[in-house]
């Protein structure tokens, strides 16, 4: 099979001869090969990061430092309108986790560029797709069109966030190099008057008016359309640099043999539709999200965690000339509060390279090896497609290759993979390489199952050059000598040749078998078989070659000595051994390294200068010099450190559904009296009961419907809360039914019998509690404008849509509605449960205080006792932690429950709703809690709400704190987090 098309490639060469700018700045330019920043070609290796999913700004640097350490030079960031604008005309870019200036500052400090993605629509499996929830009442007009009402809604958002982005562009000394317009927005009608074209033009003009001068980009949603490229039917709205999203994995959590088929059509796609521009994937699969009712949680999805994914898929992209590569997600984070769209639950781990817990693992480490290679392989940034196909330049049709060559230097990159990339078979073949010294055949190239390699020829490193190498190059550094690092799997054969006029002598340290080869007459050629661990070869010409097996390579680091995101080979130090190296520098005769470590290990560093001491996280350790010029020191780990986590006891609890009782005072509630709505969805009955029409957007809603008479036999209720939501109804305090929730349904309805024994002649009240799993993205019907709460209700047998039989409906939601009375935690943290409205979930609330009107109702029962019948109850306890200052201990809460439990549970830690557990849906039972939400030192408050949806009641088997791991660290996880944890104030007015 051949995918190479000569005519198109030649056209690309012509276009690629001249760099292009947008006429507004020459600091970021491009051609058909790659992006240039500050005049230098750069491979953009970007990590998708959503600050909203980490409400502790002080932890953003932890994540960003891990990105940088793992080979990334940029981050891609959505700015969610919904997070910053709780009500129309109100914008918060300063409070706690909404302070995006801090994000830009932290990115610059970490040495990362920023690709800004401010929408206005984002998607991202976030609530409403990121559109402001105050527009969920239908007031924003026709979404994602040139509709004037919609433009008036989003323009203030783009103006305000755009001005902040503009102030942080590279032209202003900031990190922003690209700005995305809209998101996954398809151009189906290439007409200048099409509403999509006009909408794109509107947004582009708004960004430019806000001061954005860096190139504008967009992301095509898969290979479904041909949208917004200047190279294809540009009738308006085209961006500077076209991008293509792709999630090709098709992996299965339960069947590892499924999927793993790469897409080999990217190169041709870009040649057809964006041939004057570099190939850009603004979202390429880093994992996948999981839905309510899914059978497997992220922790068990081994297929998505496989480092082979990064090895095969990301190198496959390199083989197709992609030079702007963003991984979505690189760190997924947590859908805390009610920030999730209904398609996902609390965890947004995403099976991403960096876990939700901020823990690194082998998938990230293999991702790093690709990043370090692209960081130093400058010849890759101007490369033409020579050819590709099954067996192309290979001796076996069991393998597939992509062959790229730099037209200026002759450097060649041959990306090899299994012809059937899902294969677990081991194959061996020879590769025919064209080098500056003529044709060379390299035998015994081995792929062990799902593996890829990049074979290089005429690869320049420092003042030396490899004529060829069949081993993967991880990185190289220029020190007092040139140091190159290669890796293979243990037992695999590698071959390489150094350009040299004579046969080089060498010395070797390590267990790999290594010998000179007669494979080249114009270079010093060598063969070796990779052993476990590290093998080092020092050649007479001064070159030092590290030969690592793959697990050892995963603990290889190349910390930069510059804050510039573009790191030159001489601007780094090489380190092997620790779990993480955050930064490194040499001062006088001392190497200073800050990082994290799990198990005690030997650290090895190549600095190129003489040192006598290595200072690891402030601890001075004598450095031992090796015979080949590196230095070693034994550093501590955390494996033997004692971690003491308290049992959760001393619970206080109270009923959180007094609204079900007829005598409950709802005089302060909002009356549902609207007979019209701006919603594009018609109400089933009147008055309108949509929660957004009354200013309640996120969280649970509670309704009370009144009627007189004992003649009604049933009530019809239709409700909406997003996929997996549930609801219940009580008549005069007696449960009459509801719906437990189903991961396939966003709307449910039921006709519920009204027991005659519970009916009264006057003053009947039906209390309905409707859970909330977020507003929809625009992929679902009307998107954020799909109503939530009760869609309609009438009494039977005589009720109708216009004469329902009810005399009055009232609604209550989150305390303060859209007033955002807790700006620190933000507009999506709370809902309308009684305990939430009164602030029982907040630190400092005292159940025994005289200021709490419900204090007498609290008792000492706990969640393992639970409820013996239907209802909602709150449980609160305090606990102390005292974790050592130099430890990172990612913590979580585990909530197992008895089989068959039909219930809904929410978890608050120090006022943050950080978990929603639905045992009858699943799959999540373990909930990570980051420092800043939880205090590593001192007092913490945990509150649970337990909603038993049936008369069987509900309880939990256990509520348990646990640790995911422990790491000795230089990062300050024990801080005073009080500003992030505002406490309880009297909220009686919201009862």
The answer to whether the CB of 198 falls within 8 A of the CB of 151 is: no
DSSP string, 206-262: HHHHTT--SPEE--B-STT---S-TTS--SS---SB--B-B------SS-TTS----
Q: CA 785, CA 679: separation in Å to the nearest integer?
A: 6
The answer to whether the CB of 528 falls within 8 A of the CB of 515 is: yes
Q: CA 121, CA 143: separation in Å to the nearest integer?
A: 9
749 Rama class: left (phi>0) / alpha (psi -120 to 50) / beta? beta
Q: CA 378, CA 234: separation in Å to the nearest integer?
A: 32
Neighbours of 156 (CB within 10 A): 17
Q: CA 413, CA 391: separation in Å to the nearest integer?
A: 16
Question: Is the peptide bond between 120 and the residue preceding it cis, with omega within 30 degrees of 0?
Answer: yes
Instruction: Say whether 205 is catalytic.
Output: no
Q: Which residues partner with 880 through β-bridges? A: 939
CB neighbours of 562 closer than 8 A, spacing ≥ 6? 111, 568, 571
Q: CA 331, CA 493: separation in Å to the nearest integer?
A: 35
Q: Which DSSP letter does residue 199 get?
A: H
DSSP string, 640-668: T-----------EEEES-GGGSTT---TT
CB neighbours of 6 closer than 8 A, spacing ≥ 6? none
Q: Which residues partner with 770 through β-bridges? A: 701, 727
Q: CA distances (Å), 741 to each of 343, 728, 735, 772, 817, in order? A: 13, 10, 16, 11, 25
Neighbours of 627 (CB within 10 A): 9
Q: CA 507, CA 484: separation in Å to the nearest integer?
A: 15
CB neighbours of 977 closer than 8 A, spacing ≥ 6? 56, 910, 931, 932, 933, 935
Which helix H or strand E contains 304, and what residues bound it?
A: helix 302-305
Per annotation, catalytic residue among 283, 285, 304, 830: 283
Per annotation, catalytic residue among 48, 184, 604, 785: 184
Q: What angle do CA 120, 125, 126 make, to 5 degrees?
A: 60
Q: CA distances (Å), 20 to each of 17, 24, 81, 171, in order? A: 10, 11, 32, 17
Judged by DSSP in three states, 765 sits in strand
Which helix H or strand E contains 769, and what residues bound it?
A: strand 764-770
Q: Where are the alpha helices (DSSP H) in 543-643?
A: 550-554
Backbone angles phi, psi at 756, to 5 degrees: -60, -30
Instruction: Say whether 958 is catalytic.
Output: no
Q: CA distances (Å), 792 to each of 353, 674, 681, 788, in order? A: 45, 13, 12, 11
Query: What is the maximum span of the chain, computed from C-alpha positions, in angstroms?
Result: 106
Backbone angles phi, psi at 346, to 5 degrees: -60, -50
DSSP string, 401-424: EEEEE-TTT--EEEEEEESSTT--
Instruction: Output the 3-class SS for 895-950.
Output: CCCCCCCCEEEEEEECCEEEEEECCCCCCCCEEEECECCECCEEEEEEEEEEEECC
Angle between helices 266-273 and 6-15 (to 10 degrees): 60
Residues marked active site are found at 184, 283
């Amino acid at each position: 099979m051949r995918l190479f098309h000569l005519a198109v490639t030649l056209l690309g060469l012509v276009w690629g001869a001249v760099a292009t700018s947008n006429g507004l700045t020459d600091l970021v330019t491009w051609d058909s090969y790659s992006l240039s920043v500050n005049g230098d070609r750069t491979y953009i290796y970007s990590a998708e990061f959503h600050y909203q999913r980490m409400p502790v700004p002080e932890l953003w640097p932890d994540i960003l430092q891990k990105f940088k350490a793992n080979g990334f030079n940029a981050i891609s960031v959505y700015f969610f309108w919904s997070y910053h604008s709780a009500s129309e005309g109100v914008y918060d870019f300063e409070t706690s986790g909404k302070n995006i200036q801090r994000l830009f500052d932290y990115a610059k400090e970490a040495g990362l560029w920023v690709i800004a993605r401010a929408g206005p629509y984002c998607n991202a499996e976030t609530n409403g797709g990121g559109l402001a929830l105050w527009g969920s009442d239908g007031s924003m007009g026709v979404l994602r069109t040139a509709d004037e009402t919609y433009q008036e809604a989003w323009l203030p958002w783009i103006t305000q966030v755009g001005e902040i982005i503009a102030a942080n562009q590279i032209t202003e000394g900031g990190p922003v190099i690209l700005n995305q317009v809209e998101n996954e927005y398809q151009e189906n009608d290439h007409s200048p008057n099409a509403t999509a074209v006009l909408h794109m033009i509107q947004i582009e003009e708004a960004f430019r008016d806000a001061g954005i001068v860096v190139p504008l980009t967009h992301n095509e949603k898969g290979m479904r359309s041909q949208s917004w490229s200047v190279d294809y039917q540009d009738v308006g709205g085209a961006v500077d640099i076209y991008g293509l999203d792709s999630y090709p994995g098709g992996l299965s959590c339960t069947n590892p043999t499924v999927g793993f088929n790469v897409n080999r059509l990217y190169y041709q796609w870009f040649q057809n539709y964006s041939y004057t521009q570099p190939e850009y994937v603004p979202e390429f699969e880093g994992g996948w999200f999981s839905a309510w009712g899914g059978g497997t949680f992220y922790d068990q999805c081994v297929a998505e965690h496989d480092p082979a994914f990064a090895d095969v898929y990301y190198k496959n992209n390199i083989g197709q000339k992609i030079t702007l590569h963003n991984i979505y997600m690189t760190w997924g984070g947590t859908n805390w509060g009610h920030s999730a769209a209904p398609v996902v639950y609390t965890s947004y781990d995403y099976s991403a390279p960096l876990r939700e817990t901020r823990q690194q693992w082998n998938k990230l480490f293999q991702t790093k090896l690709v990043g370090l290679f692209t960081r130093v392989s400058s010849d890759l940034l101007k490369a033409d497609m020579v050819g590709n196909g099954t067996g192309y330049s290979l001796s076996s049709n069991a393998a597939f290759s992509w062959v790229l060559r730099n037209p200026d230097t002759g450097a060649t990159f041959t990306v090899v993979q299994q012809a059937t990339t899902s294969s677990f078979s081991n194959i061996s073949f020879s590769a025919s390489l064209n080098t500056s010294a003529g044709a060379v055949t390299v035998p015994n190239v081995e792929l062990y199952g799902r593996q890829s390699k990049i074979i290089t020829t005429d690869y320049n490193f420092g003042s030396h050059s490899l004529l060829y190498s069949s081993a993967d190059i991880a990185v190289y550094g220029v020190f007092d000598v040139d140091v190159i690092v290669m890796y293979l799997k243990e037992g695999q054969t590698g071959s390489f040749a150094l350009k040299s006029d004579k046969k080089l002598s060498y010395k070797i340290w390590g267990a790999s078998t290594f010998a000179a080869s007669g494979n080249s007459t114009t270079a010093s050629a060598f063969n070796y078989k990779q052993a476990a661990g590290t093998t080092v070869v020092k050649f007479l010409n001064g070159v030092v070659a590290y030969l690592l097996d793959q697990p050892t390579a995963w603990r290889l680091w190349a910390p930069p000595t510059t804050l510039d995101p573009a790191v030159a080979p001489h601007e780094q130090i090489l380190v092997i051994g620790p779990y993480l190296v955050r930064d490194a520098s040499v001062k006088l005769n001392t190497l200073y390294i800050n990082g994290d470590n799990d198990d005690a290990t030997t650290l090895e560093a190549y600095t190129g200068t003489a040192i006598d001491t290595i200072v690891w996280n402030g601890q001075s350790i004598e450095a031992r010099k090796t015979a080949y010029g590196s230095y070693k020191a034994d550093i501590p780990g955390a494996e033997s450190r004692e971690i003491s986590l308290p049992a959760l006891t001393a619970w206080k609890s109270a009923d959180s559904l007094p609204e079900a009782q007829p005598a409950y005072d709802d005089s302060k509630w909002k009356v549902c009296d609207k007979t019209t709505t701006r919603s594009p969805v018609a109400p089933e009955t009147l008055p309108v009961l949509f929660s957004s029409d009354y200013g309640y957007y996120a969280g649970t809603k509670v309704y009370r419907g009144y009627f007189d008479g004992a003649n009604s036999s049933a009530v019809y209720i239709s409700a909406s809360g997003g996929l997996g939501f549930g609801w219940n109804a009580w008549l005069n305090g007696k449960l009459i039914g509801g719906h437990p929730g189903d991961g396939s349904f966003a709307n449910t309805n039921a006709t519920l019998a009204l027991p005659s024994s519970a009916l009264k002649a006057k003053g009947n009240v039906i209390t309905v509690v409707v859970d909330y799993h977020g507003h929809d993205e625009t992929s679902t019907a009307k998107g954020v404008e799909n109503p939530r709460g009760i869609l309609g209700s009438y009494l039977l047998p005589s009720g109708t849509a216009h004469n329902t039989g009810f005399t009055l409906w009232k609604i209550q939601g989150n305390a303060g509605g859209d007033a955002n009375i807790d700006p620190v935690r933000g507009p999506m943290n709370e809902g309308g449960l009684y305990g939430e409205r009164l602030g029982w979930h907040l630190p400092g609330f005292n159940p025994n205080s005289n200021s709490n009107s419900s204090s007498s109702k609290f008792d000492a029962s706990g969640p393992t006792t639970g409820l013996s019948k239907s209802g909602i109850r709150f449980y609160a306890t305090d606990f102390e932690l005292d974790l050592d200052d130099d430890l990172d201990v990612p913590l979580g809460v585990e909530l197992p429950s008895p089989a068959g439990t039909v219930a809904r549970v929410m978890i608050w830690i120090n006022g943050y709703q950080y978990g929603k557990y639905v045992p009858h849906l699943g799959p999540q039972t373990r909930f990570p809690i980051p420092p800043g939400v939880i205090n590593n030192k001192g007092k913490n408050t945990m509150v649970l709400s337990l909603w038993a949806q049936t008369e069987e009641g509900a309880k939990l088997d256990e509520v348990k704190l646990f640790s995911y791991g422990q790491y000795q660290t230089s990062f300050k996880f024990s801080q005073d987090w009080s500003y992030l944890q505002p406490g309880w104030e009297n909220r009686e007015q919201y009862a």
